[in-house]
Amino acid sequence: MSRKRLLVAFSLLFALCVPLHAENKKAPDCLATAAKVDAALQKVAKPRNLRPTDDEHFIRRAYLDLAGRLPRPETVRAFVADTSADKRTHVIDRLLKTREYAVNWGRYWRDVVSYNSLASGNYLCWNKYDTWWTDQLDQNINWDKVVTKLITASGPADEVPPVNYLTGLFANPREAAAVTSRVFLGIQIQCAECHNAKKDMGIAWKREQFHEFAAFFGRIKLYQCKDRKSGPRYFAVDPEDFGQYKMTRKDDPARTIDMQPRFLTGESVSMNATDTERREALAKLVTSSKNPWFARAYVNRMWSSLMGWGFYQRVDSLGSNETPHYPELLDMLSQEWIASGYDVKWLFRTIMLTRAYQSQLLPAPGAEDNPCATGCPVRLRPEQVYEAMQSALGFSEKDESIPAPAIKSAPALQRHKGTRNMVYMTFKEDPSLPQSEISSTIPQALLMMNSELVHRYTSAKPKTLLGQLLAEGRTDQQILNAMFGRVLARRPTVREVDICNRYIAKVNHREEALEDILWGLVNSTEFLIKK
Amino acid sequence: METALHVGVDSRGAIHRRNFLRFTGAGLASSFMLNALNLNAAELRKQGKSCIMLWMAGGPSQFETFDPKPGADTQGSTKAIATSVPGIQVADRLPLTAKIMKELCLIRSMTSKEGNHGRASYLCHTGYPPSGGVIHPGFGASVTKEIGDGDSELPGFVSISGPSQGPSFLGVKYAPYIVSDPSRPPDNLAMPVSAERTRRRLAFLEEYEGPSKKGASGKLIRDHRELYKQAARMALSARAKGFELEHEPAKVRDAYGRSAFGQGCLMARRLVEQGVTFIEVQASGWDTHSDELKKLNNLCPPVDQGLAALVMDLKERGLLDRTLVVWMGEFGRTPLVNLTAGRDHYPNAFPVVMAGMKVKKGYLHGATDKRGIDVTAGAVQVPDLFWSFCKALGVNPERRYESNVGRPVNIVDKGKAVDSLFQGG
């Protein structure tokens, strides 16, 4: 074959092998946008010269952010030894293709929309809802379509999983309006439920505006499927074609006014509009690129999750008079995300490709400070804690011999069994809260310090990590390296090795000392945070 | 002066940092107000008051407990019996409580609009109906913050056999410490190795993490270490024996009843002695939509015994003067029995019992009609009830805290204390 033909053949082969992203063909290039983000941050945020984080920190961060678990020691070693220039990009791409990524973020979103739900089992079909969320992320359904499905779904909770969004709120129009605006638009409009919002708290939402929003949900019928012959009698949402949503008059609470459905940007539908027409109209208005909130709220939220700080201090203060940090950057990134077609994986990829994400972390900004041009440490979410404990300590989730006492809780959160349930219930937290409002609790500390689970698996028993290392006749250094690798996904520093060696000498009982050190690593702050 | 009222103050009288930054420059006037607040807080804490909430999850039927209607078609087969207070009868399912009625204050005229478990339970734990947005702190968290001992080695708010309601924006210090099963020590309080080895391990951890306190994760590490100090303090504290029922003689444990509820009441009394401020003890299963009478045969005796034993034990130990005891559920049950021999949710009229502190003894407040359909006198809304709790405990129901939605929220929704429940009122 001539050289020219070889070249053509090779280019064709290469083009066919380039992985296709589930992206809008006109989507901005992730790397190009990431470079724009870095350039923008360089202009407005300090420090000017960022230090890249080392490979060990990067891979742990990426695995936790995408797959929700620790990388295995062998994966870390291979990654560190790999000399290819774009190895970090490959890790991100590989993780975005896993079901683990979809499960991890499905859990996040399910908690976001149902964390404060007071609904019980008949209203919420947990398993199907969980699977639905996972599938949306696995198939990379664009975010505007996901939100549209949630707003417009009808049917029984076990047959049409997105309906659980409304049944979890008892299909109450006011609750639906409050949650929809708070979660998907980042606006807390529910203050205006009872009175006009005060001007000094932000955009002066009028009471009428809240109720006009609620009117979009005003013709939903909620009922229980009483004709089921077996199994739980789930609730269902059906479209009704009559009835008007009413707001009580402030001057005379015994009287009401029929409200016309009107969105926050002024568009309305007729009061004759059916439920289907109302909710479809609302979905279009909420997800439209013409309103200033939908894209910015999502970008702000995802940025906060990955970087540990948000452009807005809270994910739901877009409707307040708070000036966001670096507003031009938020706007630019939001526009690019809209151009991608609201592509969920696109945004993860773009943010994680920035130098800002891949740099060494700095402390979290104070309430009045500007955030740094890099990320800051963040607490792990409860299921990430559990996954980390599993890979660190090597116990099986199915092992029923491990005592797993757990507090009972509101039915909306009762989703796990066994040790996973125990850890989730102890570490659970509303994922929409800013980091500054989350603190560790005494039961969390007691679980890590004293639980049978941690005690058993930090002990030098036959089948445990330490037991095996000792049985294999490993040296102290090898054992320390193995423990740090499993628990913290990195090698110990020289200083840390020194502290451990001195401790082993002081205790003068090798097995006990090593158990104490393993216990110490699992009880360290580092184990419970992303850094 | 107006701004001072909005200042959130923690248990030591220190200003919440966020609020301080909002109201910087308020000047001398507000610092005077703050000193006044500080003094009041210190006074309250010296008094060592406590509250025990006996929570009947599911909504107990008033016909088969505290508001029987003998002779009415709605009563069913349960009979009424006399109590130690002439003129007050209770269902025959509560014989031990009947004997101690002269220590109790019975409200028969509670009324609310919330007939859904989640919403009604929220209302009866916070004093507010739920609203999409603000998550109100549990009343236990508010009370603990107001009058609890901020330096205690034990958490100020404990919930036994149930989750209660969290502290929301008041912060994790006021989260309920949950004891899932009172017949065994709380989860993870017992150390699996010796106290000495625990201390050694904690010292290792302190040295190992020491230098990182200056790094990017510094604040997280400092908070974590501080939390561990508190957790270790609790686990190693002599006061932790408040959770250990094995120190009680068998006859005392028998007097409360060897049920989960009975032992929970005993643990509550022990925790009051150890200075815990708010204890909730839950009894579940009261949601009797079907086979009600059969279920009540199992539900009533432990609660009857536990409630009576608790009140009398507190009295005999001289603790009743500084402990408020409350018995309540989220609503009552329907006057008409349904097709599955049960009663359904009925918030229209239901009873609550109070005892202790300056609450009147042997007193009946309010009434319902002959068939138990409506309240006929002395209607009490749930916020009014919470205002009354506040009056008993010396808590200001209008004390405001910065909420999670950027506006101040009072401890309890608008209401009015029912003065006639109190001695001298």
Percent of chain A with pLDDT over 90: 73
Per-residue model confidence as pLDDT tens digits over B95-154: 999 999 999 999 999 999 999 888 899 999 999 998 766 889 999 999 999 999 888 899
B382 CB near a chain A CB, below 8 Å? Answer: no
In terms of CA atoms, which chain A residue is nearest residue B233?
A442
Instruction: Report which of B353, B89, B261, B86 is spatially closest to residue B78, judged by C-alpha positions.
Output: B89
B312 CB near a chain A CB, below 8 Å? Answer: no
A376 CB near a chain B CB, below 8 Å? Answer: yes
CB atoms within 10 A of CB A8: 12
Inform me whether the pLDDT recorded for A83 exceeds 50: yes
The predicted structure's pLDDT at residue A49: 83
Residue B57's Cβ-side half-sphere holds a number of Cα atoms within 13 Å equal to 18
Per-residue model confidence as pLDDT tens digits over A335-393: 999 999 999 999 999 999 999 999 999 988 876 788 999 999 999 999 999 999 999 99
The predicted structure's pLDDT at residue B38: 45
Inform me whether the pLDDT recorded for A15 exceeds 70: no
The predicted structure's pLDDT at residue B1: 28
Residues in chain B within 8 Å Cβ distance of A174 = 132
- How many residue contacts between A and B have a Cβ separation below 8 Å? 169
A430 or A478, greater pLDDT: A478
What is the interface pTM, i.e. ipTM, of the complex? 0.86
- Determine, for residues B224 and A440 on separate chains, whether the beta-carbon distance falls below 8 Å: yes
Per-residue model confidence as pLDDT tens digits over A192-219: 666 666 554 556 788 889 999 999 999 9
- Determine, for residues B189 and A119 on separate chains, whether the beta-carbon distance falls below 8 Å: no
Mean pLDDT for all residues in chain B: 88
CB atoms within 10 A of CB B251: 7
A241 CB near a chain B CB, below 8 Å? Answer: no
The predicted structure's pLDDT at residue B46: 64
Residue B151 carries which DSSP code? T
A390 or B340, greater pLDDT: A390
Inform me whether the pLDDT recorded for B20 exceeds 50: no
Q: What is the amino acid identity at position A375?
A: G
Q: How far is CA A278 from CA A163, A256, A281, A287, in A?
A: 16, 21, 5, 14
Instruction: Report which of B289, B291, B353, B355 is spatially closest to residue B322, judged by C-alpha positions.
Output: B355
Percent of chain B with pLDDT over 90: 69
Q: Nearest by CB to A499, which of B207, B225, B234?
A: B207
Judge whether B266 and B253 are in contact, CB under 8 Å.
yes
A148 CB near a chain B CB, below 8 Å? Answer: no
- Determine, for residues B132 and A175 on separate chains, whether the beta-carbon distance falls below 8 Å: yes
Q: Nearest by CB to A408, which of B130, B162, B234?
A: B162
A204 CB near a chain B CB, below 8 Å? Answer: no
In chain B, positions 325-344, which contact chain A (CB-CB < 8 Å)? none
The predicted structure's pLDDT at residue A202: 55
- The CA distance from A329 to A311, in Å, is 9
- The CA distance from A331 to A309, in Å, is 16
Residues in chain A within 8 Å Cβ distance of B130 = 118
pTM for this entry: 0.80
Residue whose entry in the numeric block shows the structure tokens 């975010």: A143
In chain B, positions 193-212, which contact chain A (CB-CB < 8 Å)? 193, 197-198, 200-201, 204-205, 207-209, 211-212
Q: Give the pair of three-digit tokens for residue B154.
A: 């034990």
Inform me whether the pLDDT recorded for B45 exceeds 70: no
Residues in chain A within 8 Å Cβ distance of B134 = 190
In chain B, positions 227-256, which contact chain A (CB-CB < 8 Å)? 227-228, 230-232, 234-235
- Determine, for residues B192 and A363 on separate chains, whether the beta-carbon distance falls below 8 Å: no
What pairs with residue B283 in β-bridges? B56
Tell me the residue length of chain B: 425
Pairing between β-strand B278-283 and β-strand B50-56 as defined by DSSP bridges? parallel
Highest mean pLDDT among A25-29, A86-90, B11-15: A86-90
What pairs with residue B346 in β-bridges? B332
Per-residue model confidence as pLDDT tens digits over A464-520: 999 999 999 999 999 999 999 999 999 999 999 999 999 999 999 999 999 999 999
The predicted structure's pLDDT at residue B169: 84
Q: Which helix (H) or strand (E) holds A181?
A: helix A173-184
The predicted structure's pLDDT at residue B39: 46
Residues in chain B within 8 Å Cβ distance of A520 = 201, 204-205, 208
- Determine, for residues B180 and A405 on separate chains, whether the beta-carbon distance falls below 8 Å: yes
A170 CB near a chain B CB, below 8 Å? Answer: yes
A255 CB near a chain B CB, below 8 Å? Answer: no
In chain B, positions 102-121, which contact chain A (CB-CB < 8 Å)? 116-119, 121
The predicted structure's pLDDT at residue A11: 53
Residues in chain B within 8 Å Cβ distance of A175 = 132
Instruction: Count helices and strands (H / E) in chain B.
Output: 12, 17
- Determine, for residues B191 and A449 on separate chains, whether the beta-carbon distance falls below 8 Å: yes
Per-residue model confidence as pLDDT tens digits over A109-164: 999 998 888 887 789 898 899 999 999 999 999 999 999 999 999 999 999 999 99
- The CA distance from B39 to B22, in Å, is 24
Give me the long-range contacts of A195-202 (CB less than 8 A, separation at least 24): A195/A250, A198/B407, A200/A321, A201/A320, A201/A321, A201/B406, A201/B407, A202/A317, A202/A319, A202/A320, A202/A321, A202/A322, A202/B406
The predicted structure's pLDDT at residue A529: 95
- Determine, for residues A523 and B205 on separate chains, whether the beta-carbon distance falls below 8 Å: yes
The predicted structure's pLDDT at residue B130: 87
Mean pLDDT for all residues in chain A: 90
